[in-house]
A and B are shown apart, each in its own frame.
Chain A
Amino acid sequence: MPQQEKLQQKAKEILLEKKADVVIGYGKVETGNIGAVFITDPERTGELVWNNLCTTNLSVYLKRKEIKKLGKPCIIVKGCDAKALAVLEIENQIDRSAMTVIGVECFGVQDRCEPQYKCASCNVQLPPHCDFVIERDTKQSAPQGSRYEKLEMLDNMDSKERFEYWKQELSRCIKCYACRQNCPMCYCDVCVVDKNRPIRIDTSATLKGNFAWNILRAFHLAGRCVGCGACSAACPAGIDLDLLNLTLAKASEENFGYIAGVQRNVEPLVGTFSPDDKEEFIR
């Protein structure tokens, strides 16, 4: 049976058995593209779609109060998105016993008709930590790329060139906060940039304000970002924000052997410590 049909059937079962009130999945939306759909009626599970255009990370909807109101969720995740759930669970943002997770086996998705960067080095075709996994009948081999390949571009520059590069890129930032809103990990009730008594981070879309915001965003995701790439995909200014997240993911892995979202029963990286943490720069 095709994967999509199996998925629809499973979702229907879950709604009929009242294990969940709403299925958060992919479907064809009015624009003709694939977008998020929220299905509460078991008879409408036939609208669920699963193909390589299912790019968005649906776990972002778990933080939306409008979605929380729909009741107990059943969420459909790819391997990369499942990692986000693991981090949310570690940080006590979701109650796994009150939700159902359907994982779909994935061999890469596309964004604006191009394969997503993250897919070239993905090793989680079968999503981990799920209640149900919908496998595909025909398998493909896992890609062999390195997760940090993209960082070579920055590594090949000297410090001055990197600064110039970011000045160019961040000059286009308009502070629409699409990066924040599309990130499953940005779940704060009030973001620090929205605190205005006093203002902590300039709200101005100047280079000064844009550097401050993007440093803040990236660092608040240190050891938490699972590399789903939703920020880069959403940025209307076309800034590859993922470069900053990847930098920190690489640093987390190299210094602490920590990869966010791989394990469910670990402590958050930042927020805990070890007396054995190694560095060479503190005098």
Chain B
Amino acid sequence: MSQIISRKTIEQLIGKLQSEGGHAAAPVAAGKRYFFRPLQKAEQLVLDGKIMPVNSVKEFFFPPHEVICRYQYEGKELQITDAEPFEKEQIIFGARPCDAASLPILDKIFAWDYQDRFYQQRRENTTVVTLACQQPDNSCFCTSVGLSPDTTSGADAELLELGNDLYEVRCYTEKGKKLFEGLTEESVKTGKTAAPPEIRFDMERVSKYLSEHFDDSIYSTTSLRCVGCGACTYICPTCHCFDIVDEGGAAKGCRVKNWDTCQFAMFTLHASGHNPRGEQAVRQRNRVQHKFAIYPSKFGAVLCTGCGNCTRECSASLGIRPVLELIDKKAES
């Protein structure tokens, strides 16, 4: 027997959450694309396993901009106040399984040598409800990094489309069970997940090659058509670099944590003017090495879920997958 829920019940659930001061986020249409956004009203919710929202749900745990603390001079006295902790309840609906799978990976980095309470508080207060993948596209490569469309990693619960605005609910954690408690009905219907996309490269071989070849001539050709924007890293579910900036004046202001990306020349620019990663090829090398050699050596998992966001949205039709495929070919020969 399976548990099912109707869209109407989900909308009521969102309405109740919002009336209690909580946040709900889900894919929302903007123009012809979909973005994970905070829901203004429950009807905005789009639950469709075929859509590929542009951004990642990581921004509800690690927002593009976050205040760390504020400072203010009162006379000659400097007052510093910490940012308020994130205490609201937050539910994310319709996350792609490959997107949610990034969360256990990010958990490690934000609780490594420094306990990032900003991330951790949001993580504790958030329930992630994924929606089963119905149609991988030709940018997808989850199977190449050891995941698949039926991955449940990082999901508290999963919805599977049954048609007619009905969804099968599968709960994987206590949080997920608590969320749907008493809202589901028993049924004999079960939902399905899409067939896995083809495997594009041998991850073991790539990782091994990368850890043995820190520098490689391949990047000088693979990075040629990159124009050096940060889109790939900002919509990547696992990229997590940030910059700490002071904003405001001498008398009053705040210290903030803003997304940053290794693809910008500014990322490693020294105060002296020297830049150890002065060229795009080296910046691309950093991205590939970090994801497939450095992070795995520290945490035992690759920093990539194969969601394909970077390739799908790249204005130069690049992203990380073509580079990995070429590295794999080189490693093979």
A interface list, Cβ under 8 A from B: 29-38, 56, 60-61, 64-67, 112, 172, 174-178, 180-182, 194, 196, 199, 202-206, 209, 230, 233-234, 236-238, 240
Q: Could you say which residues of chain A place their CB within 8 Å of the CB of B319?
A: 31
Contact A230/B245 with A176-B261, A182-B227, A205-B65 known, Cβ cut-off 8 Å: no
> With A and B bound together, what is the CA distance between A230 and B227 in angstroms?
12
21 A-B residue pairings within 8 Å (CB atoms)? A30-B325, A31-B138, A31-B311, A31-B321, A31-B322, A35-B317, A36-B316, A37-B225, A60-B227, A66-B220, A174-B64, A176-B229, A177-B229, A178-B227, A182-B315, A203-B245, A205-B258, A206-B65, A234-B231, A236-B235, A238-B35
- The verdict on B152 contacting chain A, using a C-beta distance below 8 Å, is no
B225 near A35 (CB under 8 angstroms)? yes
> With A and B bound together, what is the CA distance between A20 and B259 in angstroms?
40
- The verdict on B102 contacting chain A, using a C-beta distance below 8 Å, is no
Contact A205/B227 with A29-B322, A32-B138, A199-B245 known, Cβ cut-off 8 Å: no
Q: Could you say which residues of chain A place their CB within 8 Å of the CB of B313?
A: 236
Q: Could you say which residues of chain A place their CB within 8 Å of the CB of B228?
A: 64, 181
B223 near A35 (CB under 8 angstroms)? no
B31, closest chain A residue (CB) = A238
How far is the CB of B148 from the nearest CB of chain A, in Å?
21
Q: Among B55, B224, B258, which residue has its beta carbon within 8 angstroms of that of A236?
A: B55
How far is the CB of A75 from the nearest CB of chain B, in Å?
14
> With A and B bound together, what is the CA distance between A176 and B139 in angstroms?
20
A35 near B318 (CB under 8 angstroms)? yes
Q: Could you say which residues of chain B place their CB within 8 Å of the CB of A206?
A: 65
Q: Could you say which residues of chain A place their CB within 8 Å of the CB of B167?
A: none
B309, closest chain A residue (CB) = A236
Give B113-154 interface residues, CB cut-off 8 Å to A. 138-139
Contact A178/B225 with A199-B247, A236-B54 known, Cβ cut-off 8 Å: no
Q: Among B224, B225, B247, which residue has its beta carbon within 8 angstroms of that of A204?
A: B247
- The verdict on B266 contacting chain A, using a C-beta distance below 8 Å, is yes
Q: Could you say which residues of chain B place their CB within 8 Å of the CB of A29?
A: 225, 317-318, 322
Give B220-253 interface residues, CB cut-off 8 Å to A. 220, 223-225, 227-231, 233-235, 243, 245, 247
0/1 string, B289-328, CB within 8 A of A gives 1: 0000000000000000000000101011111011001100
> With A and B bound together, what is the CA distance between A233 and B32 in angstroms?
12
A112, closest chain B residue (CB) = B32
- The verdict on B281 contacting chain A, using a C-beta distance below 8 Å, is yes
- The verdict on B279 contacting chain A, using a C-beta distance below 8 Å, is yes
> With A and B bound together, what is the CA distance between A206 and B245 in angstroms?
13
B224 near A67 (CB under 8 angstroms)? yes
- The verdict on B33 contacting chain A, using a C-beta distance below 8 Å, is yes
Contact A38/B224 with A31-B319, A204-B245 known, Cβ cut-off 8 Å: yes
Q: Could you say which residues of chain A place their CB within 8 Å of the CB of B247?
A: 199, 202, 204
- The verdict on B86 contacting chain A, using a C-beta distance below 8 Å, is no
Q: Could you say which residues of chain A place their CB within 8 Å of the CB of B139?
A: 31
A171, closest chain B residue (CB) = B37
Q: Among B31, B259, B318, which residue has its beta carbon within 8 angstroms of that of A205?
A: B259
How far is the CB of B281 from the nearest CB of chain A, in Å?
7
Q: Could you say which residues of chain B place their CB within 8 Å of the CB of A178?
A: 227, 229-231, 315
B228, closest chain A residue (CB) = A181
Known: A30-B322, A205-B259. 19 other contacts (CB 8 A): A29-B322, A31-B138, A34-B317, A66-B224, A66-B281, A67-B224, A172-B30, A172-B35, A172-B37, A174-B64, A174-B259, A175-B259, A178-B227, A178-B229, A194-B266, A199-B247, A202-B247, A230-B315, A236-B54
> With A and B bound together, what is the CA distance between A38 and B226 in angstroms?
12
- The verdict on B90 contacting chain A, using a C-beta distance below 8 Å, is no
- The verdict on B256 contacting chain A, using a C-beta distance below 8 Å, is yes
- The verdict on B207 contacting chain A, using a C-beta distance below 8 Å, is no
Closest 4 CB pairs of A and B: A30-B322, A234-B315, A178-B229, A181-B229
A66 near B279 (CB under 8 angstroms)? yes
B316 near A35 (CB under 8 angstroms)? yes
Most chain B CB neighbours (cut-off 10 Å) among A182, A196, A204:
A204
Q: Among B65, B234, B317, which residue has its beta carbon within 8 angstroms of that of A176?
A: B234
Q: Could you say which residues of chain B place their CB within 8 Å of the CB of A203?
A: 243, 245, 258
Contact A236/B231 with A35-B316, A199-B247, A206-B65 known, Cβ cut-off 8 Å: yes
How far is the CB of A187 from the nearest CB of chain B, in Å?
12
0/1 string, B54-73, CB within 8 A of A gives 1: 11000000001100000000
Q: Could you say which residues of chain B place their CB within 8 Å of the CB of A175?
A: 64, 230, 234, 258-259
Contact A176/B31 with A34-B317, A37-B225 known, Cβ cut-off 8 Å: no
0/1 string, B14-48, CB within 8 A of A gives 1: 00000000000000001111010100000000000
A177 near B54 (CB under 8 angstroms)? no
> With A and B bound together, what is the CA distance between A237 and B266 in angstroms?
22
- The verdict on B180 contacting chain A, using a C-beta distance below 8 Å, is no
Q: Could you say which residues of chain A place their CB within 8 Å of the CB of B266?
A: 194
- The verdict on B172 contacting chain A, using a C-beta distance below 8 Å, is no
A204 near B65 (CB under 8 angstroms)? yes
- The verdict on B209 contacting chain A, using a C-beta distance below 8 Å, is no
